Amino acid sequence: MRLFVAIEIPDNIRSIVQGFHPFHANWVDDVRNVRRENLHITVKFFGEVTEAHLPALSETLNGVRCEGVPFKLQLSAVECFPNRGPIATVALGLAGDTDRLIRFHASLERACEGLGFPSERRPYVPHVTIARARPPLPPYARQVLQNTSLPRKADQEFFVDEFVLMQSHLKPGGPEYIRLATFPLTKS
C-alpha cells in the first residue's frame, strides 16, 4: 500500500482552491489540477508499506503529539517546485502557525525513523499542491505564477487539531486517496 500522512483542509478552503486557475492559456494542456477531494497538506510520504507493518505504524502515529493545538493556518502565495528550472508542481504556500506544523513534521519524522522510514533530507515546506505539470512548465512561468493574486477569501484561517493516514491508489485519471485512520494532535 502507498501511504502518507496528511492534514486535511476544510471544504470551504477546498472550494476556494478548486476555483483558482492561475495558468496561462498556453499551459493548460500541460497542467493537471488536483481534484477537490484530493487537496490536502502532505506531512510525510512513506511510499510502499506492507499491510503487516500497518499496526506498528498506526501505534507510532497515535503517539505523535504537537504543542499549541489547535493551530491556525491559511493559504498564502503561489509556490513552484522545484525551486529552480522547469516547474513540475504548482502549490499554495501556507501562513499562520507554520512553526507548529514544522515542529509536528519533525516529531513525526523522528517517531517514524524507529520503524525504518528515513527522514526526508530536504527541508519541509508546508503547502497544498494544486496542480502538476507534465511536461514541466518553462522556468519563466515561475514569475508569472508567483505574481498571481490569490482569490478572495483565500486568507481565511482554518484550524488543525488532527492528522490522517492516507492510502493512495494510482489510477489513470489521477490518484484516489482513502483515509485509513485519524489521529489527534493532542492527548485526550
Cα separation, 4 vs 44, in Å, equals: 6
- Of 160, 181, 155, 173, nearest to 68 by C-alpha is 160
Give start and end residues of each alpha helix (H) in the chain: 11-18, 54-62, 98-113, 141-146
Total structural domains within the chain: 1
pLDDT in tens, 144-163: 999 999 888 888 999 999 99
- Structure confidence at residue 188 as a pLDDT band (50, 70, 90): low
Residues 125/130/134/140 CA torsion (nearest 10 deg): -70
User: What Å distances lie between residue 44 and 19, 164, 172, 182, CA to CA?
Assistant: 26, 11, 24, 14
pLDDT in tens, 71-105: 999 999 999 999 999 999 999 999 999 999 999 99
pLDDT in tens, 127-142: 999 999 999 999 999 9
What is the per-residue pLDDT for 186? Answer: 86
Question: H helices then E strands: how many in the chain?
Answer: 4, 9
CATH number reported for the structural domain that contains residue 86 in this entry: 3.90.1140.10
- Structure confidence at residue 174 as a pLDDT band (50, 70, 90): confident
Output the DSSP codes for 128-166: EEEEEEEEEEPTTHHHHHHTPPPPTTTT--EEE-EEEEE
pTM, entire model = 0.94
Phi, psi values for residue 6, rounded to 5°: -140, 160
* Residue 144: domain span: 2-184
Amino acid at residue number 92: L
